[in-house]
Amino acid sequence: MPSALAPGLYLVATPIGNLRDITLRALDVLGHVDLVLAEDTRMSRRLFDAHGLLPKCTAYHEHNADKRREKVLGELEEGARIALISDAGTPLISDPGYKLVREAARRGIDVFAIPGPSAALAALTVSALPTDKFFFAGFLPPKSAARQRALERFVSIPSSLVFYESPARIEASLADMAEVFGPRPAALARELTKRFETLYRAPLDQLGALIPEDEKRGEMVVVVGPPDENTQWDTEQVDQALREALTDQSLKSAVDEVTQMCGLARREVYRRALDLRQSS
């Protein structure tokens, strides 16, 4: 360690799979702090063993954080050097720590970032989708109706969207995304940096079908490209096309036809078609 470690809270990023994805500075900090707060101490032990570290380590996770926080803050106020790590990647990113950092900041305790891996950024960079602007959406609600409502709030965001998803829900989530966003380009990054790392890139409506049954497990990130403003029709164009299609087609086939052309989600086209039919 080049200079003594200052008192404060250290947010240390750890690997998302490959145990060698850890910075030299992270190793320095984990080797010199007074205490490491870890989401799962057994998981962290694997990391410590791989790098010959023997820090004092205690559990800090969503179930005990409210109880532990006050004691940790007290120790920090007395000048302790404490690191926070999660099971994988950057702490606080869909992981515990936000309230601890907020309270530390409020009390004037120094908080230091020790940056490193995060699955969101790793997936975004390999997705081959625009990286100049992106929106990190974290985990979606588990139930379909709530998930679709959540997705609808993201429809008009003019940037790539990054989602964490569990393998148990990936199929249903991709189907909901295809319904709400239409056939936007997308990517699914699975088991990044690990032995069975895989990456699929396809329009949202085809992505689910590409994933073999035996790969619907492991850790996954879904990246969805931004809406294509060049191919997306405005509402007047959509309504005009629907009016014409509805003169000689059923509601369903009119909606299918216009959805194919307009670059909007089927759901949105369907809603407009219903409005038109009611007002005619």
Of the pair 170, 238, the CB lying nearest ligand SAM is at 170
Q: Residue 249 Cβ, how far from ligand SAM at the closest point, in Å?
A: 41
Q: Residue 30 Cβ, how far from ligand SAM at the closest point, in Å?
A: 16
Residues 224 and 203: beta-carbon distance below 8 Å: no
Within a 10 A sphere around the Cβ of 118, how many other Cβ atoms?
21
Reported in sequence order, the residue ranges of 33-108 that DSSP labels E, i.e. its strands, are 35-38, 57-59, 81-85
- In the bound state, the residue with its beta carbon closest to ligand SAM is 89
Q: Residue 242 Cβ, how far from ligand SAM at the closest point, in Å?
A: 38
CA–CA distance, 166 with 182 (Å, rounded to integer)? 22
CA–CA distance, 127 with 123 (Å, rounded to integer)? 6
Residue 84, classified by CB atoms within 10 Å of its CB into exposed (0-12), middle (13-18) or buried (19+), is: buried
Q: Residue 132 Cβ, how far from ligand SAM at the closest point, in Å?
A: 21
Interacting residues toward ligand SAM by CB under 6 A: 16-17, 86, 88-90, 93-95, 118-120, 164-166, 189-194, 219-221
Q: Residue 21 Cβ, how far from ligand SAM at the closest point, in Å?
A: 10
Give me 170's structure tokens.
Answer: 């990936």
Of the pair 97, 227, the CB lying nearest ligand SAM is at 97
Q: Residue 176 Cβ, how far from ligand SAM at the closest point, in Å?
A: 16
Around 191, how many Cα atoms within 13 Å sit in the side-chain half-sphere? 10
Q: Residue 20 Cβ, how far from ligand SAM at the closest point, in Å?
A: 14
Of the pair 93, 104, the CB lying nearest ligand SAM is at 93
| 81 phi/psi in degrees, rounded to 5 | -110, 115
Of the pair 136, 233, the CB lying nearest ligand SAM is at 136
Across the strands, what pairs with 58?
37
Of the pair 109, 119, the CB lying nearest ligand SAM is at 119
Of the pair 173, 259, the CB lying nearest ligand SAM is at 173
H/E run at residue 114? strand 111-114
Nearest residue to 41 via CA among 25, 21, 55: 55
Of the pair 76, 137, the CB lying nearest ligand SAM is at 137
Within a 10 A sphere around the Cβ of 182, how many other Cβ atoms?
24
Residues 83 and 13: beta-carbon distance below 8 Å: no
Three-state secondary-structure class, residue 137: strand
